[in-house]
Each structure stands twice: as C-alpha cells, then as structure tokens.
Amino acid sequence: MKLTRREFSRLGTMAALSGALPEIEAQTGDAAQSSGRKLGWCIVGLGRISMGHFMPGLPLSKTGRITALVSGHRDKAEKQAAMYNVPSPSIYDYDSYDEIRSNKDIDAVYIALPNSMHAEYTIRAARAGKHVLCEKPMATSISDCRAMINACRRAGVKLMIAYRCQYQPLHLKAIQLIRSGAIGQVQAIESAFGFNIKPGEWRLNRKMAGGGPLMDVGIYALNACRYLTGEEPADIKANSSVIDRDGRFNEVEENDGWTMQFPSGILASCNTTYGGDMQGYFRVHGSQGVIEMDPAFIYEGLHLRARTRDGQIIDEPDEQHDPLQFTAEADSFADCIWNNREPKTDGEEGLRDISLISQIYQAAGLREL
C-alpha cells in the first residue's frame, strides 16, 4: 500500500522540532470563563472520528467551538467549514499548518491523523503555542511519545490523550464500585475488542499505524485493565497470529492475546483482532461480586451490569448518545486549560500504554516500539 500525501517528509525533522521551543503563557481560567468566551478548536485531519464524532460533539459543549480546520482536501474542508461557520482564512492544509500560530481564535488542536503523524503534528502545535488533544494511540514509538511530552512542556501548553472512556459516566461508576469494595477484592479481569477490518485501510500499513489491532482497539482493553485496577502490570505474556492469508495482514498482525499480572496479584486476560467480530467488553471478577460492561468501548449503547457483595443487582444502560462521549473529554480539557490543571489522561498516560504495548509485542516475539 502506498503512503498517502499525509505521510510527509517532515517526519524526519521531528527531532529538530522537539528542541528548544518558546515559552508561552497559557490562558487563565478566570479571564476566559468570566468573558463567556469558548475555547477555539482547530480540527487536524478530517476523517471518520473527527467528522463523525468529535466535531458533532463540540456544538453540544458549553466550553468549545470549532474555529479552524486542517485538511489535505480543500473541498472536504470547505463543506465542513460551512457546517460549523469556520471562516475561509481559517482553513489550512498540511503545508500551511504552522500558520495556526498567528490565529488568535485557535486555543487548542484536536489531532485525528494516522498514528504515525501524531508526534509531528503535536510538536508543531506546541511550537505554535496551541494546546493539544491527541487521539490514541499517542504515537507509534516510545521515543515519539517522550518528544511530544517534552515539546508541550517546553512550550507551556497542555497535552491530553483522547481516552474518552475515562470521562464516560458508566466507566467512572465501574471504577467507583471497585474502589469502594462493592465486589470485594478483585481477582481477575477479562477484556477484548476487535472487528473484521476491510482491505485497503491505512491501519493495515505498518508504517502509518505502528502495528495491528493492539494499537487500534486492543489499547482499549489494555487501558481499561489499568484504570479498573488502579495498578500497573508487573508481568506480561503474549501471543500474536495471522489466520486469514488474504493479503490484509502482510504488514501487521491479525490477532493479539496477552495476560498481565498486577502487583496485587490480580490477573488480566485480553484479546484483540482485525479478523472477526469482537464487541468490546470487560468483566471484573471480585471475591464477593462481579462487574461487567458489554458493550464497553463503542460510541453509544454501553451497558453496565453488576452483582455486589450486599446482593445489589445493577443493570444500567448508557443514556448518552454518541457525540456526548467526545463532548465530555473536550469539556474536561477546556477546564484543565482554563484552570491550569494537568489532564487526567496526560502524555504520561499515553506513554505508559505505548510502553506496555511494546512489551506485549516483544513478549509475542514481534518487535519493540
């Protein structure tokens, strides 16, 4: 598969961009909120997740509005600009991206590009003095993650990784139930997420994606095990495989399965695939009860069920519709910017997952990131 126009040669200059960056002062919360001004968002990359989910979520937000777009397709950008009242001068392509520095209506960027481009466009946004919400996976290598963190720190801007589930009410309720001891001592967790990928997807290109389903949807299961336990895994064992020899998996794996042991002794078993229907879920087994969410990771229709140690039965479907998951993370990021707080899912959180994915790949006999 040929790389798209977006796979720019500037990736080779990333090291230079991550050097000395100018210090800039973040906007204060009091000034922004007292004026009633909404956070101005520049959407970088007009694909399924941005146009279908994040952008529709912003008009539902009390804190944000879309003020600029970055796309390699001018006609697509103009159609989206008309929908969200973005002025024509605030439509950029990838060559003119650095010009966002002079646009005072842009406070933050939302990066929804192929995985291998996350680092470059985060670093360039930091250089332009803009806060960054970057889709997961954070990057395709540990070194890129560190460069992103360092660039944003030097520039004095916030960096948040878009782990929307960590801002979703039912996920937060599951965490609260576990922490309160409602199911006793957690013993084991099972989690999985996958789908049957179509030929021709950029996610099947290793250079652009960084890996197979583990980088794309398996990361949901990995991250869930971490926030549900509140621990970092101490031991990892893994396997990967390719079953369908139909040309889709010439560069990335089709299936990944891994187990983790946490310091407390909790065991986790996870699977992900690009070869079949694996609706995302998690199940937490406690000494006195169980919590499960199925589905757990899609954009709407989540369903939490639990049986607690006092005999309570919880059966709670999600009342939120699709864009509201993205509204919640955007509002949380605005609060961090205005009140100078570090995001819950900051760059260090993204780096931890990429480090663990690297360990999973190594354990499966593949390669490190």
Q: What is the dihedral of CA 162, 165, 169, 170, to 10 degrees?
A: 180
Establish whether 136 is a catalytic residue: yes
Catalytic pick from 136, 158, 167, 274? 136
Show the DSSP H helices in the chain as ranges: 14-17, 29-35, 48-49, 55-57, 74-84, 118-127, 142-155, 169-179, 206-209, 213, 219-229, 323-338, 347-363
DSSP at 321: -
Distance separating alpha carbons of residues 264 and 257, to the nearest angstrom:
22
220 labelled catalytic: yes
**CA–CA dist 107, 164 (Å, integer):** 20
Among 220, 274, 281, 361, the active-site one is 220
Distance CA 50, CA 55 (A): 6
Cα-Cα-Cα-Cα dihedral of 356, 225, 171, 148, to 10°? -10
Select from 158, 141, 146, 133 the least CA-distant residue to 348: 146
d(CA 275, CA 212): 11
The catalytic residues are 136, 220
